[in-house]
Amino acid sequence: MNRDSGPLVLGMETSCDETSAAVVRGREILGHVILSQDIHRIYGGVVPELAARAHLTVIDDVVRSTLDEAGVALDDLDALAVTSGPGLIGALLVGVCWARAVAFALDRPLVPVHHMEAHLFAPSLEDPDAEPPFVALLVSGGHTLLLHVPRWGEYRFLGETRDDAAGEAFDKVAKILGLPYPGGPQIQRVAEKGDPGRFRFPRPMLRGDQQPGDPDYLDVSFSGLKTAVAGRVHELEAEGRLERERDHVAASFQAAVVDTLASKVMRAVELTGCNRVLMGGGVSANRPLRTELARRLAPDGRLLHASPRLSLDNGAMVARAAAFHLEARGPDGPGTEGGSVSGLAPVLAEDPLDADSALPFPGLIRSRQPVLRG
């Protein structure tokens, strides 16, 4: 291992509907391929069995193309890394089994990586300032999390969604409006032509009488917002006005999500005294959300985020997170022996943030006690 520039790591990502591999050394991405699965557009959402089959079909070619782009061979690798959860069980198994077999054959360490921790590391591949401390907003199709990160490997849980994730809400509202999957980019596209003030949709769990320490002070909920949009769409359809109002409904829904998320983030900033905010996950690519957070943080705060490509699920963020853990605990640390992914228990964990889960968020301190500044 070249310790002057860090380990040469192959990162694998198959948690949902992107098959991705990347070769990373330090912060440098030497090769990176992301192959998205278009078949799910037909069904308006990800079909788990189809996702797993698609991963199985293309994973060899994705890795081969990545290695060719990086100009390295499998034997040159210092370690392998793979997303071990959370995600779709069948899809995860494809990546885990492939990486585990290759790590065993090469006698290389294999590092299991928590999907949401990987999203935390994505911005650091492009921005040298994307380092702790920061408040982290992780927003994707399956998760919405608010964390305080004083340093890498130490994560203080602040809040989460009570029901739908932000990305799931975008997808479901897009489907209600008759827009294609995935819903996030489609909502953003049509919302640009709409008036966000035309309809006043609720901001769930965002009230003026909430106080720090209240159970819902930093949590979010989007199921009620989705229901409100569905009700208004039903009314517009009955009146024959949906075609004329679709852009306005999309804009008003997006404004409600952005206002809710930005307000919760700013509450976390005030509580922690940390005005550096890092965004990760697919929804972090939403331009209005980035713009609003940057506006609220100005002039003294800083918003950190990855490019749209690295905001989505990708192998580079997995490799970057694994490199941190390799260097922090050494290549002979627990769970990194050749071919080991600490059994299959991590893949089968339903709730990675549950105290009894087999896959705890590495370094996560799960507590609802507010982190008060000072």
| Residue 301 and residue 317 in one domain | no
pLDDT at 208 over 90: no
The range of the structural domain enclosing residue 144 comes to 132-305
At 121-135, the pLDDT tens digits run 999 999 999 999 999
Determine contact, residues 51/39, Cβ cutoff 8 Å: no
**170-177 mean pLDDT:** 95
Specify if 371 maps to a domain: no
| Residue 96 and residue 137 in one domain | no
| Residue 288 and residue 166 in one domain | yes
| Residue 155 and residue 287 in one domain | yes
243, exposed or middle or buried, with CB in 10 Å at 0-12, 13-18, 19+?
Answer: exposed
| Residue 110 and residue 201 in one domain | no
Three-class DSSP category at 318: helix
Determine contact, residues 80/23, Cβ cutoff 8 Å: no
| Residue 196 and residue 293 in one domain | yes
Nearest to residue 133, comparing CAs of 326, 302, 372? 302
Q: Angle between the 223-239 and 166-176 helix axes, to the nearest 10 degrees?
A: 10
Specify if 152 maps to a domain: yes
| Residue 166 and residue 282 in one domain | yes
Specify if 187 maps to a domain: yes
User: Which alpha helices (DSSP H) does 44-165 contain, by range?
Assistant: 48-70, 89-106, 115-121
| Residue 277 and residue 336 in one domain | no
pTM higher than the cut 0.85: yes
Determine contact, residues 326/10, Cβ cutoff 8 Å: no
Specify if 330 maps to a domain: yes
pLDDT at 184 over 70: yes
Specify if 373 maps to a domain: no
Final residue of a structural domain among 263, 288, 305: 305
Q: How far is residue 319's CA from residue 26's CA, in Å, rounded to a whole number?
A: 9
Specify if 127 maps to a domain: no
| Residue 92 and residue 171 in one domain | no
Phi, psi of 302 (to 5 degrees): -140, 130
Specify if 126 maps to a domain: no
Looking at residue 23, its amino acid is: V
Name the strand (E) or helix (H) holding 19: strand 18-25
Specify if 316 maps to a domain: yes
| Residue 167 and residue 220 in one domain | yes
| Residue 105 and residue 38 in one domain | yes
Q: How far is residue 199's CA from residue 232's CA, in Å, rounded to a whole number?
A: 9
Work out how many domains the chain is built from and give that number. 2
* pLDDT for res 12: 97
At 257-307, the pLDDT tens digits run 999 999 999 999 999 999 999 999 999 999 999 999 999 999 999 999 999
The region of weakest confidence among 24-33, 64-73, 207-216, 348-357 is 348-357
Domain of residue 287, CATH code: 3.30.420.40
Q: If pLDDT is split at 50, 70 and 90, which confidence band does 343 have?
A: very low
Final residue of a structural domain among 305, 320, 351: 305
pLDDT averaged over every residue in the chain: 88
Final residue of a structural domain among 276, 305, 334: 305
Determine contact, residues 353/361, Cβ cutoff 8 Å: yes
| Residue 271 and residue 170 in one domain | yes
